[in-house]
A and B are shown apart, each in its own frame.
Chain A
Amino acid sequence: MSRQHTTGIWRWLKGLMLKHAHRMITCKEFEDFVLNYLDDDLPVAQRSVFELHLRLCRECRDYLAAYQRAQELGVATLGPGEEAVPDDVPEDLVKAILDARNQ
């Protein structure tokens, strides 16, 4: 039996288990919970189902790790950066605005 064939059977069995077994969700359903899970915004019962899927599914574990790493990389790249001009508003500008408002 070829490796590809074995992998196919394994995926088919995994799909059946995730779709029909108690407290299981499919990978597609898992996708709907990712944002709320990372925001720590899932009710306890849903969180436990999500984490059970994570323990059982190599693909979703790898996906979630890469998803979070891409997010960190995006933040590091899109953010102000260490060498950027500070966002602080200069004191003289603050004073000028307040003076103008009080006139």
Chain B
Amino acid sequence: MLALAERMLRDRSLAEDAVQEAFISALRGLSRFEGRSSIKTWLHRITVNASLTKLRQLKRLGEQSIDEHLPEFDRQDCRIEAPWPYLATVQEILESDELRARVSAGIDELPDSYRIVLQLRDIEGYATGEVATLLEISEANVKVRLHRARAALKKLLEPILRGELSK
């Protein structure tokens, strides 16, 4: 649960608080646990909710601009994209501690309102509809945010993916 909260909040101390609150919620809601889902799924959901509550309390889920990291087009709507003679593999990048740290720093530059959609759908495996319910936004909005988050991540990680940073 702590590992999950830390993935959601990107901060150990906040994650510890969220897990504590998740346990309190779990105890309070124990009578409502009907055994339809596994306990693991139930606790996972409670931890996700506690982490989201924490993010909301810290006002980290508000609308934030991501425009500077989005793809660029010319006046004819043609993409502006320099050629990619080299594209590093995930394995090559993660072998280097320094590059791994740079990837993590790049991810931290994503606004939370976008990063959290990426986290819930791509990492934690929630369906689009479930993410919409958890974040209290429409499914269409989840899709828009997910695509923008991935596009922004591509731009933020571009120097690493192009092999421009030394290992």
Q: Mark B79-107, 1 if CB is under 8 A from A, else 0.
A: 11101100111100110000010011001
The number of chain B residues with a CB under 8 A from chain A is: 50
Alpha-carbon distance A97/B28, docked complex (angstroms): 12
Tell me which residues across on chain A come within 8 A of B58, comparing CB atoms. Answer: none
Which residue of A59, A84, A100 contacts B80 across the interface (Cβ within 8 Å)?
Answer: A59
Nearest Cβ distance between residue B107 and chain A, in whole angstroms?
Answer: 6
* A74 adjacent to B153 (CB under 8 Å): yes
Tell me which residues across on chain A come within 8 A of B88, comparing CB atoms. Answer: 69
Alpha-carbon distance A20/B31, docked complex (angstroms): 62
Alpha-carbon distance A98/B43, docked complex (angstroms): 13
* A71 adjacent to B150 (CB under 8 Å): yes
A70 at the interface (CB under 8 A from B): yes
Tell me which residues across on chain B come within 8 A of A98, comparing CB atoms. Answer: 39
Tell me which residues across on chain B come within 8 A of A77, comparing CB atoms. Answer: 94, 100, 103-104, 107
Most buried by B among A28, A30, A59, A78: A78
Alpha-carbon distance A2/B16, docked complex (angstroms): 61
Alpha-carbon distance A78/B87, docked complex (angstroms): 20
If over half of A's interface residues share one DSSP class (helix, strand or loop), that class is named, otherwise mixed; here it is helix
Tell me which residues across on chain B come within 8 A of A70, comparing CB atoms. Answer: 150, 153-154, 157, 161
Instruction: Find the A residue at minimum CB distance from B153.
Output: A70
Tell me which residues across on chain B come within 8 A of A60, comparing CB atoms. Answer: 79, 81
Nearest Cβ distance between residue B59 and chain A, in whole angstroms?
Answer: 22
* B39 adjacent to A89 (CB under 8 Å): yes
* B73 adjacent to A27 (CB under 8 Å): yes
* B43 adjacent to A89 (CB under 8 Å): yes
Instruction: Find the A residue at minimum CB distance from B10.
Output: A78
B158 at the interface (CB under 8 A from A): yes
* A62 adjacent to B30 (CB under 8 Å): no
* B3 adjacent to A73 (CB under 8 Å): no
* A59 adjacent to B78 (CB under 8 Å): yes
Sample (8) of A-B pairs whose CB atoms are under 8 Å apart: A26-B73, A66-B154, A70-B154, A72-B90, A74-B122, A74-B123, A77-B100, A79-B123
Taking beta carbons and an 8 Å cutoff, which residues of A are in contact with B?
A: 11-12, 14-16, 18-19, 26-31, 34-36, 57-60, 62-63, 65-67, 69-80, 84-85, 87-89, 94, 97-98, 100-101
Taking beta carbons and an 8 Å cutoff, which residues of B are in contact with A?
A: 2-4, 7, 26-27, 30-31, 33, 39-40, 43-44, 71, 73-81, 83-84, 87-90, 93-94, 100, 103-104, 107, 118-119, 122-123, 143, 146-147, 150-151, 153-154, 157-158, 160-161
List the 3 shortest-distance A-B pairs measured between CB atoms, nearest first: A15-B76, A27-B79, A26-B77
